[in-house]
């Protein structure tokens, strides 16, 4: 994705106020989140123009991948987001592109989640594999967090299933949550949704 591509965004003022506290880990039911997010007016804005504009919050599908033994896929950050390099992540995902647009905001975010999974795992996670919605995370402490909001999903691999990571996931390892250290803040928050 280029910084000149259009990404999904919401005006901060249009989102529920309790989603925007300094630190948010919200276990929301999928129906509750759908109803709320589908009422919010959405925009597709050029990423470069809004990446540091706190008028907008860009939703990021943030997908945790758990294997049959209860271990999470984790990897050192070395992709496009330079602000996160040197930290470990358990979240796979990224911006929702205009090509993901479907009939409503929730389905558009879900389409973006599936596209990101396909792109980052060479399609090893089938498009029809269910994604379990866990909730949302938000933090206002970092520059990344100030303009993004995480929509957290879990994909549970079955016995014998594995993934083939792309370059952005180089160094991928399987770890139990209690073994993970030096995690980016979003990963710390997202793991609270599965514990």
Vertex 109 angle, CA 137 and 30, to 5°: 60
List phi, psi (to 5°) of 23: -135, 125
User: Is the separation of the CB atoms in 120 and 163 below 8 Å?
Assistant: no
Of the candidates 3, 109, 17, the one whose C-alpha atom is nearest the C-alpha of residue 61 is 109
Judge whether residue 162 has pLDDT over 80. no
d(CA 170, CA 75): 7
Q: Report the alpha-carbon distance of residue 133 to residue 27 in Å, rounded.
A: 9
Report field, pTM of the whole predicted structure over 0.85 = yes
Where are the domains positioned within the chain?
A: 6-192
With contact defined as beta carbons under 8 Å apart, do 176 and 88 qualify? no
Of the chain, the percentage scoring pLDDT greater than 70 comes to 88
- Give me the torsion for CA of 82, 88, 92, 93, rounded to 10°: -30
CA distance between the termini of the chain: 32
- The span from the CA of 97 to the CA of 100, in Å, is 5
Residue 51 clears pLDDT 70, i.e. is over it: yes
Q: Over the range 108-146, which residues count as b (16 or more CB within 10 Å of their CB) and which as e?
A: bbbbbbbbbbeebbeebbeeeeebebbbbbbbeeeebbe
Cα 89–Cα 19–Cα 127 angle in degrees, nearest 5: 50
Is the per-residue pLDDT at 7 higher than 90? yes
Do the beta carbons of residue 92 and residue 65 sit within 8 Å? yes
Averaged pLDDT score across all residues of the chain:
88
Fold classification of 6-192 (topology level): Nucleoside Triphosphate Pyrophosphohydrolase (3.90.79)
Local confidence band at 83 (pLDDT 50, 70, 90 cut-offs): low
């Amino acid at each position: 994705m280029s910084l000149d591509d259009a990404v999904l965004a919401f005006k901060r003022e249009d989102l529920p106020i309790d989603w925007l506290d300094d630190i948010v880990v919200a276990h929301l039911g999928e129906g509750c989140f759908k109803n709320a997010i589908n009422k919010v007016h959405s925009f597709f804005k050029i990423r470069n123009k809004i990446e540091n504009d706190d008028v907008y919050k860009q939703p990021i599908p943030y997908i945790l991948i758990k294997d049959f033994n209860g271990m999470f896929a984790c990897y050192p950050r070395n992709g496009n987001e330079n602000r996160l390099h040197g930290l470990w992540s358990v979240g796979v995902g990224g911006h929702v592109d205009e090509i993901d647009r479907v009939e409503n905001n929730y389905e558009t975010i879900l389409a973006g989640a599936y596209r990101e999974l396909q792109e980052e795992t060479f399609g090893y996670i089938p498009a029809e594999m269910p994604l379990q919605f866990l909730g949302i995370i938000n933090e206002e402490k970092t520059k990344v967090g100030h303009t993004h909001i995480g929509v957290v999903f879990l994909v549970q691999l079955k016995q014998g299933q594995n993934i083939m990571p792309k370059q952005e996931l180089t160094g991928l390892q399987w770890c139990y949550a209690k073994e993970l250290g030096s995690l980016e803040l979003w990963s710390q928050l997202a793991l609270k949704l599965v514990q």
